[in-house]
């Protein structure tokens, strides 16, 4: 538990005199009375390591006796026989290091007392409909009494800037877990390429990938696995995975696992279903690979996510001009966004406890500089279809290019001297994609 205690100490220090209220995730209904598998709120998990719904954590830097207070579902055999063992109030203290713990049902009457004396209240408005009215009521009570008590929290602030800046910079123990998520995810991609044959359903390849996640002890996929044959790859969030894989098509697979402690992998690979690239597929694959390698190479302290995106974009646009899919000069095409019918997304995102992890990419006009411990995906792609109109002045797309969707994605950690590609074990060289 010491890692969580260290994180709490840092968070409490950063809060100054502001008290923070961080709720756990609720159970979410799937249909009727069936629920989705529980997924803890990442902020709550990061600070507590407590993996139950129906909990609220208080961080009270103004209190010497109770700086970390947990409200939890109490032990109750008649409920636990249905939904599993709870840690209860005692477990919250002895196992999870809370200074004090109470049953969740006591939150409404106790919250105002705990918040008394804080300079402000840090709470994320708009995300926790059960807890939000309690926080607002407690604050309102304080304001009512302020003329006589002489003290009240003067502001409701967002905890995100502090907490998410902390989560953005991964510690050594977090990087170790992300290497594990990357290892399992990369192995699954290697397996997927080995089994893929014309005639298989996309979902059968998905099954191989997700079976490996579970066999390796992960919770399962970190997000809806994408197995997209042919033109389906041009739908960025295709998850139907219901089509048959056809000889002559490429298949794009975007999948990664989520570990028991929620760290995620996020890998995309694209390869020919039948084992050989066509000329057009090979040309575009080589181009995306060159862009991806240029962008990965750019990852280093002092660089920015924007700079990594630009590195990929310049290679892509230059190559598209050479292939006749764009016309014009490099800078002009980039300034006008004349490539967006072929490349319509950004080159990456932060990765951590959330797949699209928290943390700012820019603060006002200032782009956040990469620092050791940050982890980002690098995932350029090209998607050639009729879905978006060709911009005025750009060449019409010849039929032979259509139905080709390619993305290559690695998970890259920033190190002191440059970067570490966490997912390098998943092959991506042109020769490795063929058989
Ligand atoms: Mn991604």
CATH of the domain at 293: 3.90.230.10
Pick the catalytic residue from 187, 354, 409, 420.
409
Q: Tens place of pLDDT for every residue, the chain, 435 residues?
A: 589 999 999 999 999 999 999 999 999 999 999 999 999 999 999 999 999 999 999 999 999 999 999 999 999 999 999 999 999 999 999 999 999 999 999 999 999 999 999 999 999 999 999 999 999 999 998 888 888 888 777 799 999 999 999 999 999 999 999 999 999 999 999 999 999 999 999 999 999 999 999 999 999 999 999 999 999 999 999 999 999 999 999 999 999 999 999 999 999 999 999 999 999 999 999 999 999 999 999 999 999 999 999 999 999 999 999 999 999 999 999 999 999 999 999 999 999 999 999 999 999 999 999 999 999 999 999 999 999 999 999 999 999 999 999 999 999 999 999 999 999 999 999 999 999
Catalytic status, residue 367: no
Q: Which among 149, 165, 181 is the end of a domain?
A: 165
Question: CATH code at 121?
Answer: 3.40.350.10
CA of 400 to the centre of ligand 1 (A): 28
- 383 in catalytic set: yes
- pLDDT confidence of residue 1: 55
Sheet of 250-255, strands arranged across: 226-229, 250-255, 267-272
Residues 246, 102 within the same domain: no
Task: Choose the final residue of a domain: 130, 165, 200.
Answer: 165
Count how many Cα atoms sit within 13 Å of the Cα of residue 15 in the half-sphere of its side chain.
Answer: 32
Report helix angle 305-322 to 279-298, nearest 10: 150
* Active-site pick, 219, 282, 345, 367: 345
Same-domain status, 157 and 183 = no
Shared domain for 378 and 243, answered yes or no, is: yes
- CA–CA distance, 383 with 405 (Å, rounded to integer): 4
401 and 259 housed in the same domain = yes
HSE-up (13 A, CA, CB side) for residue 210: 16
Distance, CA of 296 to CA of 422 (rounded, Å): 11
Q: Map residue 68 onto helix, strand or coil.
A: strand
Judgement on whether residues 212 and 151 belong to the same structural domain of the protein: no
> Which 3 state secondary structure label does DSSP give 220?
strand
64 catalytically annotated? no
Work out the number of other CB atoms within 10 angstroms of the CB of residue 416.
Answer: 9
Q: What is the pLDDT of residue 208?
A: 98
Answer yes or no: 419 catalytic: no
- Which of 101, 130, 165 is the last residue before a domain boundary? 165
Q: What SS3 state is found at 414? A: strand
345 is catalytic: yes
Contact criterion met (CB below 8 Å) for 231 and 402: yes
Q: Residue 80 catalytic?
A: no
Catalytic residue among 407, 410, 419, 420: 407
The whole-number pLDDT of residue 340 equals 98
CA of 375 to the centre of ligand 1 (A): 12
409 catalytic? Reply is: yes
C-alpha of residue 435 to centroid of ligand 1, in Å: 27
Q: Which two tokens stand for residue 283?
A: 């040309």
Whether residues 147 and 207 fall in one domain = no
Active-site position among 30, 276, 340, 356: 356
For the beta carbon of residue 322, count every other beta carbon within 10 angstroms: 11
pLDDT of residue 149: 80
Q: In whole angstroms, what separates CA 329 from the centre of its chain? A: 35
Three-state DSSP state, 253: strand
Is 241:206 a contact under the CB 8 Å cutoff? yes
Total structural domains in the chain? Answer: 2
pTM for the structure as a whole: 0.96
**Ligand 1 ion: Cβ-proximal residues, 5 Å cutoff:** 266, 377
144 lies in the same domain as 192: no
Asked if 180 and 107 sit in the same domain, the reply is no
Containing domain of residue 53, as a range? 2-165
Contact 59, 93 (CB under 8 A): no
- Are 272 and 229 members of one domain? yes
Cα(158)–Cα(56) distance, rounded to whole angstroms? 16
Q: Are residues 136 and 201 in the same domain?
A: no
Query: Whose CA is closest to 352, among 204, 181, 221?
Result: 181
Q: Which residue has the tokens 């310049």?
A: 314
Residues 174 and 146 in one domain: no
Which position among 189, 343, 383, 420 bears the catalytic label?
383
For 204, other C-beta atoms within 10 Å of its C-beta total 17
Catalytic residue among 237, 335, 365, 416: 237
In this structure, are 227 and 279 located in the same domain?
A: yes
Distance between Cα 303 and ligand 1 center (Å)? 19
Answer whether 167's CB lies under 8 Å from 211's CB. Answer: no
């Amino acid at each position: 538990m010491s890692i969580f205690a260290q994180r709490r100490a840092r968070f409490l220090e950063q809060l100054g005199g502001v008290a923070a209220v961080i709720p756990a995730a609720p159970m979410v209904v799937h249909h009727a009375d069936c629920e989705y598998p529980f997924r803890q709120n990442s902020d709550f998990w990061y600070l507590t390591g407590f993996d139950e719904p129906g909990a609220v954590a208080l961080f009270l830097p103004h209190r010497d006796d109770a700086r970390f207070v947990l409200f939890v579902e109490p032990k109750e055999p008649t409920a636990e026989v249905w939904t599993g063992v709870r840690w209860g109030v005692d477990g919250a203290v002895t196992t999870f290091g809370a200074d004090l713990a109470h049953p969740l049902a006591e939150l409404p009457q106790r919250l105002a007392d705990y918040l008394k004396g804080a300079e402000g209240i840090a709470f994320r408005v708009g995300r926790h409909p059960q807890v939000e009215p309690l926080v607002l009521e407690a604050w309102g009570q304080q304001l009512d009494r302020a003329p006589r008590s002489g003290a009240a929290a003067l502001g409701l602030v967002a905890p995100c800037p502090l907490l998410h800046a902390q989560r953005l910079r991964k510690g050594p123990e977090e990087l170790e877990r992300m290497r594990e998520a990357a290892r399992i995810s990369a192995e699954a991609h290697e397996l997927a390429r080995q089994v893929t044959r014309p005639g298989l359903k996309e979902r059968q390849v998905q099954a191989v990938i997700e079976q490996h996640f579970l066999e390796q002890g992960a919770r399962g996929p970190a997000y809806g696995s994408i197995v997209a044959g042919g033109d389906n790859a041009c739908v960025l969030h295709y998850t139907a995975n219901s089509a048959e894989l056809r000889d002559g098509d490429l298949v794009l697979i975007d999948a990664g696992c989520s570990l028991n402690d929620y760290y995620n992998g996020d890998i995309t690979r694209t390869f020919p279903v039948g084992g050989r690239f066509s000329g057009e597929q090979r040309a575009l694959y080589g181009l995306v690979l060159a862009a991806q390698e240029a962008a990965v190479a750019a990852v280093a302290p002092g660089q920015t996510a924007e700079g990594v995106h630009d590195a990929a974009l310049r290679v892509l646009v230059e190559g598209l001009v050479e292939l006749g899919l764009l016309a014009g000069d490099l800078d002009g095409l980039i300034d006008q966004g004349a490539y967006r019918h072929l490349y319509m997304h950004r080159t990456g995102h932060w990765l951590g406890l959330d797949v699209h992890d928290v943390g700012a990419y820019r603060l006002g006009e200032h782009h956040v500089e990469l620092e050791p411990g940050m982890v980002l995906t690098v995932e350029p792609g090209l998607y050639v279809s009729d879905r978006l109109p060709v911009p005025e002045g750009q060449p019409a797309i010849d039929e032979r290019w259509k139905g080709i969707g390619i993305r290559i994605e690695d998970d890259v950690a920033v190190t002191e001297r440059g970067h570490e590609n966490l997912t390098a074990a998943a092959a991506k060289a042109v020769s490795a994609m063929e058989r």
